[in-house]
Structures are given as C-alpha cells and as structure tokens.
Amino acid sequence: MKLSNWILLGTVLVAIAGCSSVKKEYRSYDSYPVRSGDLLEMEYTPQATTFYLWSPTADEVRVMLYDAGDKGHAYETVHMECSEDGTWKAKVERNLLGKFYTFNVKIKDKWMGDTPGINARAVGVNGKRAAIIDMTKTDPMGWAEDRRPELASPADAIIYEMHFRDFSISNSSGIKHRGKFLALTEKGTVSPENLSTGIDHLKELGVTHVHLLPSFDFASIDETKLRENKYNWGYDPQNYNVPEGSYSTDPYNPVIRIREFKQMVQALHKAGIRVVMDVVYNHTFNAKESNFERTVPGYFYRLKQDGSLADGSGCGNETASNRPMMRKFMVESVLYWIKEYHVDGFRFDLMGIHDIETMNEIRSAVSAVDPTILIYGEGWAAQTPRYSADSLAMKANIHKMPGIAAFSDELRDALRGPFNDNHKGAFLAGYPGKEMSLKFGIAGAIRHPQVKNDSVNYSKAPWAMEPSQMISYVSCHDDMCLVDRLRASIPGIKQEELIDLDKLAQTAVFTSQGIPFIYAGEEVMRDKKGVHNSFQSPDSINAIDWHRKAEHADVFAYYKGLILLRKLHPAFRMGSGDMVRKNLEFLPVSARNIVAFRLKNYANGDSWGDIIVVLNARKESIKQSVPDGKYVAVCRNGQINLQGLGMMYGPEVAVPAQSALIIYK
C-alpha cells in the first residue's frame, strides 16, 4: 500500500466510518465505499426537498437553510442521518423553492466549513450556497425540440475557440449583451462598417463547432463586483455543474444563468453550430477550502509521499481521477452537461493528468448517448502527475483511447516555433529542419510510410490510430496568438509578410488530416499587444476589435475559403488512417522550408482528381515538380477561389514566396 494512501496533508489518516451502523476503519482511500446510483445532492418537489451527501468519514453532517444566496445567517439547521455507501440523507417536508443551502461536515470534532456540496446544480452569487430551484423552469421556449446539428464524422469538425468576453465585449461588436451568454443569441449584429459580428459572423465563416473557454462556475471573478471589469479565462473551478454567473445578466438569480446558457446553446444549434465546453476536472481553484476537501478530506486529490499535495496542474493541486468516486463524478458531470444543457463536445484541460481508464469510461458513456459528441484535450500536464505514466491520458497514449483526440504541438511548433521561447521561429520564419514535423501533422499523427519519426520534433512515434484523433492548430488562447507570435519570432516583419505567413500557417492547419482548430479573431488578424499569457489582462488586450474585419477583409475571405474548401472536398478529411496512407503522398521538393503533397485519385470520393498542395515558406518563388498534366489552381498567391484561379501545367509549377498553392487535376 502506498504511503500516500495513509497520509493526508501531513496527518496520519485513520478514518472512522461515522455513516455506518458498524464502526469501520478505512485503511486507505481505495477502501472507501462508492455511492450507488447517481451523485444527486438535492431533490426538489413542492411537497418536500431531500438532501444527500457522500461523506463516508464524517461523524456528523448538517444542512443549513438560507433565504438568500449571499447574505444573512441560516434560518434553520437540519441534521442529516447516515445511510448506505457513506451517504448522508435528510428530508424537509415543506416547499423550499427559492431557498439556498450549504452542507457542513464534522470529522474528528472539527467542522470542515460550509460548501454547496460537490455536485451543486444551481447556486447563488459567487457559488458559495446552492439553490433550490425547479430545473424544468429553466428551459427556454422550444428547448424540448432543440437538436444538435448533423455531424457525419469527427473529421468533418471545424473548431473555433472562443472566450465569451473577448468575442463580444468591444463596442465595435454591435452586441447588446456584451460579454454574456446572450451575446451568442443576438442576430443581425454588425460592426461600424456594417459587417456581420456575433453569431452571424460565425455562420458566415462556416465553423461547425464553437469551443467555449470555461463556462462552469469558477472562483476567480467576484460576481458582486462586475463593474470592476475583472478578467479571467476561468481555469479556476469552483462548482463544476453550474454555469458561470459573471456571464449571466443576473448572477444573483440561480435560474437566470442556467436559462441563458441554454438559450445560447439553442441559438448556436439553430445556426448549425455545435457547442464544445472546456472542462477543467484536473484541479480546483484551491484544495484546502474546496468543496471536495471539505466533504471528504484527501480523497479527491493525489498526494506526494510526504502527504503534501501533488501538483501536476501547476495550480497547486491535481485531482485523483483514478479513484472511483472522482471517476464517477467526472462521468456523471459530462453526461449532465449533455443531457441538461445539450452540449455537443468537451475539451479536457491538461487531460494528461487524468487516467486512461477514466477517459475511456467517459468516451463510452458519451457514445451511448451520441457517438458524434467530440472529446479532445491537452495530451500533457503542467508538471509530472503523481500517477503511473503509462496509465495517464497523455498524447503518447492516445492510441489507447479510441474516439478521443489530442492537440498536436508537433504541428503547432513546427510552424511557428517552440512554446517556451516566443522569439524563436520555425518553418514560417524560414528556419529549416521542421519539414518532417509538419508532415507528421499533415498526416494526422498516424503512422505514415513517408513520415520519419526520428526527425519529428517531440514524438518519436505516431500516437494517433486515426487522423481525427489529432487536433490541428497553430495557436490558441494559451500562448501568443498567431499575429503576435509572428511579430515576436520575425523581427521587423512587414505587414504584407505578416499576412502572407498567417495565411500560409492556416493553410497547413486546414489541409491537415487532423481536426482543424482556430482561435477566435484570428480570421480578422487579432492581436493581444504581444502579451504571452493574457489570462488576467484587461479587455484592451483581449477584446476582438471588429473594425479589423473590414481592415483585413482579404484575410477573412481566405479563412472562409479554407473552411469551404475543407467542407466541400473530403480528400482533406479522410478520417481513416488506412485511407490517408493509401491516398496521401508527400512529393520530393527542391529546397528546405517547402512541403508538398498529393491527394491521389479522387481520394475519399472527392469530385476533384489528384490534388496538389505546396507550402512554401521561403522568401522567393520556387518551382515544384508535379505529375504531368493539366491543373486548375484554387489557392494561389494568397487568394482562394474554388471556381478556379487559372490553369497550370505540369511537370513543374511556380509557387510564389511565402504562400500556399493548391491545384487539382
């Protein structure tokens, strides 16, 4: 038995089962009982409200009832009775609709402190007290008829990563509910130049999925002081199963934040766009005062040998997904967001902290509801997790997790340079030696006979079984956005070159066999004033300036053209490792900083014949050898037109400097 199973934050653990007819000593966390059924903690009817709390080491548990969500003292204390599986229960036989409550657990003569429970589904302002509501009253009109848009294959997904505040907070957005869930429900919003913004902009661009940065209730924003204009990305979990109050129009009203989140999902679905939630089960805002720790001390976190908290997240703690009740919590939480909120996908923050078994259980449970729901995540951790490396959901183990995808930092850093050095460039900056890493990403991180993994930047072996297990991207919220990174890594870069390389980068992303992913605003050349980590920067840094849509109309048109190209031509999204190996052939090139490939013979049933893609990062035009024949150019010299940009003839074609060429036979 591991010493860490015996030690809790430096104190020897001898847990006595307070919730049992027979006193029992739990000698390790693994021996704790697992609650049967679901983890519901409050069940409301007009006649009675029943409370439940899993706390097997408690000697006593009570529920405090309040009139308000943030002020005043409890007007009543209800003592809970121990029941089966370490669960406590209490029933109040009167109508408690509109009231609030907290739990408090007593262990070894110490009251642990008030919490809304680990599974609150409605809360008051700042999430300190859970709310008693009728969930059926939170549904917007037509909610029962809401349906997720069609998605034939995960390879068809095109993901747009967005922070609520960034997307809509600028006055130039023309949006009324700026920075709120409702911002994504407003139709007909325009920039000062009368160009579409908001949800109409997303429809015009053509993305299939909006990936929302954390939308659950997080701790880093004081919802009572929203006029102070505090900003955070939201990777500070507090209540995992409640929408964040600062994005609602009234954080004091627990019904409103729930209804407005549903309205947002409903509006995006009507626009043909699916919704992905960014979920952060790997750590909590803090450990000592967390709902987990105050309910069952030590159980939900991994500990070091000396009893201190492990910190694979780099945020002070890491959760123990491998423990049965944490695993059960994660599975139920994901299913709850699917069933109650109609969410269509999940991006797991620092997924490499979680264990493979848990992630596979989540995939299996989600697929039983709808196999088209996306699951992907960061295949790494911030620091080394306190768990066996071969059992963690790291990128290298993605082949053990069918139906789950990971981000390709191989492709990202091959294009723009390493994460840990903003000023160091790569392929886009004209640095040679990244071509094989780029090929690795274009093939979708699968085994391919022409990808020599000993020359790939991070992975010396393919890690995906299918290309749809790889997320293809060049930038996201975390790190510099693409414009800033190009400026930092190419000193003195001129605006024309910046635009050319931006387009070239995204051409690699969208012609990759992985699932393409872009950061909101990059289609209009957003920047963040060179800030590397803008998680607490003000709106002046993070907000998308919608004037840029007019200023960079050609860039927007190019991104839109790439999306349409991918949608209309299945050769770019074959979705099968075998198909990619059969139909994707890398072509010989004449110099460094060039990658060229052919999609052969109506790949995946495409209407075009052989398709040639050439990515030229050199500062001069090059000649590329291609199979002899007559071709139609659809992407050339920074322009995309699927109707054609003229004819070209093999066996050699010209490719302008710092640009992509796409032609078909």
Q: Rounded to the nearest 10 degrees, how much is the dihedral formed by the CA atoms of 340, 342, 347, 350?
A: 0
Separation between Cα atoms, residue 440 and residue 470, nearest integer Å: 11
Residue with tokens 């059960």: 328
Q: How far is CA 122 from the centre of its chain?
A: 23
**DSSP H helix total and E strand total for the chain:** 14, 32
Task: Verify whether residue 156 is a known catalytic residue.
Answer: no
Residue with tokens 């990619």: 580
Separation between Cα atoms, residue 611 and residue 605, nearest integer Å: 12
Q: Using an 8 Å Cβ cutoff, are 482 and 474 in contact?
A: yes
Label residue 655 left, alpha or beta by phi (over 0 means left) and psi (-120 to 50 means alpha): beta
Strand 622-625 to strand 647-649: parallel, antiparallel, or no bridges (unpaired)? unpaired
Report how far apart, in Å, the C-alpha atoms of 216 and of each of 199, 239, 321 are.
21, 7, 19
Q: Which DSSP string corresponds to 339-398?
A: HHH---EEEETTGGGSBHHHHHHHHHHHHHH-TTSEEEE-SS-SS--SS-GGGB--GGGG
The one catalytic residue among 223, 344, 378, 523: 378
**Joined tokens for residue 476:** 């996201």
- Beta-bridged to residue 233, according to DSSP, are none
Separation between Cα atoms, residue 75 and residue 83, nearest integer Å: 25
Task: Verify whether residue 539 is a known catalytic residue.
Answer: no
**Joined tokens for residue 254:** 């627990």
The one catalytic residue among 186, 344, 349, 413: 349
Residue with tokens 């902009």: 201
Separation between Cα atoms, residue 407 and residue 278, nearest integer Å: 14
C-beta atoms surrounding 278 within 10 Å: 23
Active site residues: 349, 378
